[in-house]
């Protein structure tokens, strides 16, 4: 049972955000939607699940906004997965350094291939250092580029 659930504060865009995220993460679902009145009224709060992770969201107004101090880390295996999440999450948002992307709602995500941690964690500090330097020069992580840096190419 999940005991810690991210709670996201939106300024009137809960339904739009939930629909956006569910369209990206396969196997996602809406668990609950509460509206401010009848069935056609705006959404007040919602609970949804992305890749098995539950999220709560609230339409609460403009008092607070997202910052990169909190982000969601997506661990992927392949460059194709990196490209998939990167393209979809950055649409209407922005690309950041080192695998970070900001979505159209201002929420930060990290799209990180498993290879990054493995190569950076190599006991050979010279190889690991080359990988870190390569990563620092990237926005979207390029797995082949990391491997080339690791190999000294």
Signed CA dihedral, 65, 69, 70, 73: sign only:
positive
More confident residue, 38 or 11: 11
Rounded Cα gap, residues 83 and 73, in angstroms: 15
Residue 134, pLDDT score: 98
Rounded Cα gap, residues 123 and 17, in angstroms: 42
Maximum CA extent, the chain:
62
Note whether 1-65 and 66-153 share their fold.
yes
pLDDT class for 151, splitting at 50, 70, 90? very high
Kindly report, residue by residue over 66-89, the tens digit of the pLDDT.
Answer: 999 999 999 999 999 999 999 999
pLDDT at position 1 over 90: no
End-to-end CA distance of the chain: 46
The answer for residues whose C-beta is within 8 angstroms of residue 141's C-beta and 6 or more apart is 82, 98, 99, 111, 112, 113, 116, 135
Q: What average pLDDT does the chain have?
A: 96
* CATH level 3 topology of 66-153: 2,3-Dihydroxybiphenyl 1,2-Dioxygenase; domain 1 (3.10.180)
Kindly report, residue by residue over 132-149, the tens digit of the pLDDT.
Answer: 999 999 999 999 999 999
Rounded Cα gap, residues 153 and 151, in angstroms: 6
pLDDT at position 21 over 90: yes
Domain ranges of the chain: 1-65, 66-153
Kindly report, residue by residue over 116-134, the tens digit of the pLDDT.
Answer: 999 999 999 999 999 999 9
Q: Does domain 1-65 have CATH number 3.10.180.10?
A: yes
pLDDT at position 9 over 90: yes
Kindly report, residue by residue over 32-54, the tens digit of the pLDDT.
Answer: 999 988 888 999 999 999 999 99
| Token pair belonging to 55 | 């999220």
Question: If you write DSSP's letter for every residue of 121-132 in order, what string do you get?
Answer: T-S-HHHHHHHH
């Amino acid at each position: 049972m999940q005991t810690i659930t991210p709670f996201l504060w939106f300024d009137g865009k809960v339904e739009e955000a939930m629909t956006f995220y569910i369209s990206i993460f396969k196997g996602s679902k809406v668990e609950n939607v509460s509206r401010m009145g009848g069935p056609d009224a705006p959404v007040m709060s919602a609970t949804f699940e992305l890749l098995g992770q539950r999220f709560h969201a609230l339409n609460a107004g403009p008092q607070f906004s997202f910052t990169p101090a909190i982000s969601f880390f997506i661990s992927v295996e392949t460059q194709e997965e990196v490209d998939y999440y990167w393209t979809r999450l950055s649409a209407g948002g922005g690309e950041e350094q080192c695998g970070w992307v900001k979505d159209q709602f201002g929420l930060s995500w990290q799209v990180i291939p498993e290879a990054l941690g493995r190569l950076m964690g190599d006991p050979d500090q010279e190889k690991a250092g080359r990988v870190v330097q390569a990563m620092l020069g990237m926005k979207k992580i390029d797995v082949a580029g990391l491997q080339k840096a690791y190999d000294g190419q």
